Amino acid sequence: MFDLTATLQTLGGPPALGVMTAIVFAESGVLAGFFLPGDSLLFSAGVLLADGAIHLPFTLVALGLVVAAFLGDQVGYLVGRKAGPRLFDRDDSRLFSRQNAARAHDFFRRYGPKAVILARFVPVVRTFTPTVAGVGAMPYRPFLLYNAIGATLWAVGMLGAGHALGGVPFVAAHVEVLTLGVVALSLVPAVLSVSGRRRPGPDKELNDPASEPTAAPR
């Protein structure tokens, strides 16, 4: 099994930053990158920075990751702008999932423009939301602003959390296990969103023909 944390430790300096920015960019802007470990990557990187395993200044790494996240979303927005609804009408493939696209669309419709910020903290949804915005749901200038805010909060926040906790011996010794915990916690909003969408509301139950009593035979 590929161990990303061990790979970053081995690479150490600029090569590690190159790998991290490439992954963040792909997860943010390339629809095929929805499976990449964004949250856990940033948290692990913060721990490795605190431990000295990555020999780079925190500010430099944070700036590189913010730029990668920002540019990734810009690409996703442009893909939605160019491809339009045709992109979401295509059949499922190994690189595209209509279910994931629909989930991002529902997320955007529920939270409006601020979904660009909130989606940063929801795996899978953050990959598809910029494309949904680009299809026509959001003008470019507001997207530019919300994208910059979301990229900064997410990259600096997750990296900073790992860096702040990296000095704790227990965290440094169990970074792999804690990284899995970060992944699990980051999936909670997505699970709640899906379960809330599937739960029928009172109006739906009242108006559902299946729930209405059938007339007794004469």
Q: Give the whole-angstrom CA distance, residue 120 versus residue 73.
A: 10
Residues 6+ apart with CB under 8 A from 77: 130, 131, 133, 134, 140, 143, 147
pLDDT at 156: 94
Q: Read off the pLDDT band of 202 (50, 70, 90).
A: very low
Q: Give the whole-angstrom CA distance, residue 157 versus residue 93.
A: 33
Number of domains observed in the structure of the chain: 1
Residue 97: domain span:
4-196
Helix pair 140-166, 38-51: axis angle to 10 deg: 40
Note whether residue 69 is domain-resident: yes
Note whether residue 203 is domain-resident: no
Better pLDDT: 50 or 83? 50
**Helix/strand number for the chain, H first, E second:** 12, 0
Note whether residue 91 is domain-resident: yes
| pTM, two decimal places | 0.72
Note whether residue 80 is domain-resident: yes
Range with the lowest mean pLDDT among 63-67, 110-114, 157-161? 110-114
Q: Read off the pLDDT band of 210 (50, 70, 90).
A: very low
Note whether residue 212 is domain-resident: no
Mean pLDDT of the chain: 74
Note whether residue 96 is domain-resident: yes
Note whether residue 140 is domain-resident: yes
Q: Read off the pLDDT band of 57 (50, 70, 90).
A: very high
Q: Give the whole-angstrom CA distance, residue 117 versus residue 91.
A: 28
Contact (Cβ atoms closer than 8 angstroms) between residue 89 and residue 101: no
Note whether residue 77 is domain-resident: yes
Mean pLDDT of 138-165: 91
